């Protein structure tokens, strides 16, 4: 590598584990090495969904979110295993401990990827060799393959790590964008989803280069803040720091309201809980987090205040589920006296990027469908107001 003498600015690594769940299973069961392996919910049933597949399986046509029955048709000797999240979380902790031996500036993004700011810890002339050593340590000490992207900021490092898998090391400098980044289809840009890519293509924006050269003012007018952000990212601009504490920044999301008078009517109080639950759900979506712990706050007319919470088996972010849990707590702990304040809070929130990898895979299809419905409703509410649409499943009786 010739990254040495000409490197300027920050040196950011994006470390992305390759086929993480399948790789962990191979560490625990060496007989699986070189075998096509997939992790799926309900592996014995045709309706299960593949969540990740080893590269041997991918070479045979097996893909993430593919139904089990189709994966078996593509690869008859596919070994399908149920997920073991405790095992994966334990290995994840070891990964980040190893990364912190290189720099204290490590920002976990999800269970199997994170950023490392290497700027102050190794000379630029050695950074390629450092990446090789890091990759080798992950492989030798933990048995896990990883791809590493190296760039002057987080966005470019993330894009670089996706360019060569498995076991890739890719350096991406700003001056190389026209050659390495801009020819890529716009949907391959981190932060641009499939629907956004379709909208951009209708505007004649087919590649990341098209996005980089398009009017940033037009993009912002058309798509809002994310349009401006796309323009900046496509031109290699990203001012975010690698922040080890960012994963802990949002710990809870809540809403409360003081009632204009003492309320003793149960149905009226439940309507307030419904409104609070919808606000909490909206904020969870905006912050791209979810929760498995709902807290209810009740303040009575004598100023006495109680808080009660309950941890749930599954993470949630949907208004119906939050409401149902809040009502359950309310019915358990309300003493039927006049209420002056109600509050609903989502505690111990976690990023959706983590939660999506920890979903109960037996309900993956339902969760995926519900998330699409919820996003549609959220967009309608944002555009037309809170009263435009109602979910009939929140009990208002």
Distant-in-sequence, close-in-space partners of 156: CB < 8 Å, separation ≥ 6: 12, 149, 172, 174, 181, 236, 238
- What is the structure's pLDDT at 121? 81
**Whether 178 contacts 209, CB under 8 Å:** yes
Helix axes 20-28, 85-100, angle to 10 degrees: 100
Structure tokens at 208: 């990341």
Backbone angles phi, psi at 200, to 5 degrees: -65, -40
- What is the structure's pLDDT at 284? 86
**Whether 42 contacts 361, CB under 8 Å:** yes
Across the chain, which distance is largest between two alpha carbons, in Å? 74
In this structure, the dihedral spanned by the alpha carbons of residues 136, 141, 146 and 148, taken in order and rounded to 10 degrees, is: -50
Task: Provide the annotated active-site residues.
Answer: 113
- Residues annotated within a binding site for Mg(2+): 16, 112
- What is the structure's pLDDT at 314? 67
Q: 166 preceded by cis ω (within 30°)?
A: yes
Structure tokens at 66: 């593919």
- What is the structure's pLDDT at 292? 82
**Whether 98 contacts 17, CB under 8 Å:** no
Helix axes 127-142, 85-100, angle to 10 degrees: 140
Burial class (CB in 10 A: 0-12, 13-18, 19+), 176: middle
Residues of the chain below pLDDT 70: 1-8, 42-47, 124, 247-250, 313-314, 352-397
Q: What is the mean pLDDT of the chain?
A: 85
Residue 6 CA to residue 302 CA, distance in Å, equals: 69
Backbone angles phi, psi at 342, to 5 degrees: -125, 145
- What is the structure's pLDDT at 137? 97
- What is the structure's pLDDT at 365? 43
Residue 76 CA to residue 51 CA, distance in Å, equals: 18
- What is the structure's pLDDT at 388? 47
- What is the structure's pLDDT at 85? 83
pTM of the model: 0.67
**Whether 60 contacts 75, CB under 8 Å:** yes
- The domains found in the chain, sorted by start residue, are 9-172 (3.30.70.270), 179-234 (1.10.150.20), 246-384 (3.30.1490.100)
Residue 181: closest CA among 154, 200, 162: 162
**Whether 255 contacts 343, CB under 8 Å:** yes
Residue 124: closest CA among 275, 262, 284, 9: 9
Residue 271 CA to residue 266 CA, distance in Å, equals: 9
Distant-in-sequence, close-in-space partners of 133: CB < 8 Å, separation ≥ 6: none
**Whether 322 contacts 268, CB under 8 Å:** no
- Residues annotated within a binding site: 16, 112
Residue 173: closest CA among 5, 2, 7, 1: 7
Looking only at the bridges linking them, the beta strands covering 79-81 and 37-40 are parallel
Classified as helix, coil or strand, 44 is coil
């Amino acid at each position: 590598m010739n990254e040495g003498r000409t490197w300027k600015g920050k040196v950011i690594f994006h470390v992305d584990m390759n086929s993480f769940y399948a790789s962990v299973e191979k560490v625990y069961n060496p007989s699986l090495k070189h075998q096509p392996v997939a992790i799926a919910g309900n592996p014995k049933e045709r309706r299960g969904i593949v969540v990740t597949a080893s590269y041997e399986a991918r070479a045979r046509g097996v893909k993430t979110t593919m139904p089990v029955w189709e994966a078996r048709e593509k690869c008859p000797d596919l070994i399908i295993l149920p997920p073991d999240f405790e095992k994966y979380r334990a290995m994840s902790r070891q990964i980040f401990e190893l990364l912190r031996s290189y720099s204290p500036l490590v920002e976990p993004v999800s269970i199997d990827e994170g950023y490392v700011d290497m700027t102050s810890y190794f000379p630029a002339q050695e950074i390629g060799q450092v990446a090789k050593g890091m990759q080798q340590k992950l492989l030798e000490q933990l048995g896990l393959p990883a791809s590493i992207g190296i760039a002057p900021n987080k966005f470019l490092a993330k894009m670089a790590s996706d360019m060569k898998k498995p076991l890739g090391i890719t350096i991406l400098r700003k001056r190389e964008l026209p050659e390495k980044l801009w020819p890529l289809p716009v949907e391959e840009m981190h932060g641009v989803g499939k629907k956004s890519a379709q909208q951009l293509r209708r505007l004649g924006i087919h590649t990341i280069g098209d996005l980089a050269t398009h009017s940033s003012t037009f993009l912002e007018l058309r798509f809002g803040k994310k349009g401006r952000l796309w323009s900046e990212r496509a031109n290699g601009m990203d001012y975010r720091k690698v922040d080890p504490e960012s994963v802990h920044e949002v710990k809870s999301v809540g809403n409360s309201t003081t009632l204009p008078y003492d309320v003793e009517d149960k149905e009226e109080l439940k309507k307030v809980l419904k409104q609070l639950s919808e606000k909490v759900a909206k904020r969870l979506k905006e912050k791209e987090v979810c929760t498995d712990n709902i807290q209810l706050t009740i303040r009575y007319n004598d100023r006495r205040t109680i808080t009660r919470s309950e941890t749930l088996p599954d993470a949630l972010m949907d208004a119906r589920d939050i409401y149902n849990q809040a009502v359950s707590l309310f019915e358990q702990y309300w003493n039927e006296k006049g209420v002056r304040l109600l509050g609903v809070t989502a505690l111990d929130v976690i990023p959706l990027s983590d939660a999506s990898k920890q979903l109960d895979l037996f309900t993956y299809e339902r969760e995926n469908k519900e998330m699409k419905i919820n996003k549609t409703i959220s967009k309608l509410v944002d555009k037309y107001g809170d009263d435009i649409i109602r979910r009939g499943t929140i009990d208002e009786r």
